[in-house]
Amino acid sequence: MLVRAFRLRKVLDSYVSEDSELEVFKLSKTEWDQASIIITIILPFKVASQKLQATKRPGIDSVYWDYETLFNKIDAIKETFTKPQYAHKTWIQEIHRGVEQLSTKLEQYYTNTEMPLFT
């Protein structure tokens, strides 16, 4: 839904601008930038989740590939946050902390793959 809203942001901005009661719901450029970054973060997880849900018994090679892809995406996002264009944006630090927590959580799940299902 966020992806759809982002694609239609010009139309949405125009629509809420036409009605004074809806004007309070108009997103600022900063809020649209934040939405863009959130989409960049969550979209790979959505794709991986849908892929695994479509498989009755995912193979271990597929699961490891998905984890590797997600870790690479997280690393790329962390690197993006260090670019000079984001240095002055205070809200980036909040998102950066969230991405760090996301990475920690994913690492916990990845670590669980080392244990056999049956002992």
pLDDT confidence of residue 114? 67
> Which range has highest mean pLDDT (8-17, 53-62, 89-98)?
8-17
With beta carbons less than 8 A apart as the criterion, state whether 102 and 74 touch.
yes
Q: Is 99 exposed, middle or buried (0-12, 13-18, 19+ CB in 10 A)?
A: buried
Query: For the chain, what is the mean pLDDT?
Result: 84
Angle among Cα 52, 104, 64 to the nearest 5 degrees reads 35
* Structure token pair of residue 86: 């984001």
Model confidence over 101-111: pLDDT tens digits? Answer: 988 888 887 77
Amino acid at 100: E
Amino acid at 71: F
Listed by start position, the domains of the chain span 27-112
pLDDT confidence of residue 39? 92
Model confidence over 75-98: pLDDT tens digits? Answer: 888 888 888 888 788 888 888 888
Closest CA to 75 of 103, 52, 49: 103
Q: Has residue 20 got a pLDDT over 70? A: yes
pLDDT confidence of residue 77? 86
pLDDT-above-70 percentage for the chain: 89
